[in-house]
Every structure is written in C-alpha cells, then in structure tokens.
Amino acid sequence: MKASALKRSTNAKTSNTSKITRATVMKQANGKLPASMLLALHWDKEKTLIAAPAAADLARLNAAFKKKFGKNLDIDLAYRTLDTQKFLYQELGHYIAAKPGTSNHGWGLAIDVPETYNYSFKGKYYKWLKANSKKYNWTHRKNLEEFRANGSRNPYAEAWHFEYVGK
C-alpha cells in the first residue's frame, strides 16, 4: 500500500452547501466517496474527512463536548478509503477492523476517538459521549460494549467507535 492512500486532504470544504444526504452517500461505493461528498472537520488540525451529511451533527456534538470539557472532541479517524480499509484489515485483523468494503468508515459515517483512558469505557469522555451522542444523531452500538449481556468480555469491544445515524 502506498503511504498516499493514508494521507488526509486539507483542502476539503467544511460545510454541506450541496445538501448531500445520508441516502445519497449510501448509494456510493464504500471507500470510494467522491471528494465532493466529504467535508473537513473545521476544529480538527488534521482536517479529518467525514461524509457531508454527518458533519453538521458532529459539529453540534463537538460544541456540546467543548462546553462540557473546555476542549474539542478528539477525532482519531473518520472516512477511510477502500485502500485504507484493506490495509487496516490486514494489519489489525477482523476483531478490530471491518471487512473491507463494509465499514461505515467507508461511507464517512463513523468516527473513532483516541484509544486513551479518558475515551475508554471507564473514561469521562466516553461516558459523556455514550450518554449524549444520540441527541446529535451519533451512537455507540450495543455490540461494541465491553461486556456482553451474559457478562462475558466482548472481543469486539470498541469504546472509540461512534456511528452517524441521522439523515
């Protein structure tokens, strides 16, 4: 894989002026979204890319997070090209990375926050995000929880992964 496949764009727009919808994004090939459907997160110094319809609600979530914690929400990853998905699947395996072409990251409709203590299942940022993200059309799926309903540890647990469920 070429390093350029992992490079993040810094000249993308930061608002959904074209009024692109989630339905339009979902009709695209996973990991092959046209640049016109991706926006850069304005508060993120790396200008992480995300699908246009998810950006406004993520910005609202970030504003509430910043009001609560006095800092912006840290975004580790969001949109992933198909090449990036293939690379991560090969490097991390199926417990961590989705099968290439099936990840919500491939439509720019998922974010990963850093894997640090404050964003872990015990951390204050995760707990706040878990309790408040739905108000902003973002969710942390139950199948990613640390423990399963029967009390056993979940090998697929991901405190860092949130998905956009809005329009």
User: Measured on CA atoms in the order 118, 119, 122, 125, is the torsion positive or negative?
Assistant: positive
Output the average pLDDT for the chain: 91
Q: What is the pLDDT of residue 13?
A: 66
> What is the average pLDDT across 105-119?
97
> What is the average pLDDT across 124-147?
97
Question: Which neighbouring-strand residues pair with 132?
Answer: none
pTM: 0.88
* pLDDT greater than 90 at residue 119: yes
Q: What is the pLDDT of residue 3?
A: 47
* pLDDT greater than 60 at residue 5: no
- The rounded distance, in Å, linking the Cα atoms of 130 and 78 is 18
* pLDDT greater than 90 at residue 46: no
Between CA 156 and CA 100, with CA 38 as vertex, the angle to 5 degrees is: 35
Contacts by 70-76, CB closer than 8 A, 24 or more apart: 72/43, 72/44, 73/43, 73/113, 73/125, 74/113, 74/114, 74/119, 75/41, 75/44, 75/48, 75/111, 75/112, 75/113, 76/111, 76/112, 76/113, 76/114, 76/115, 76/160
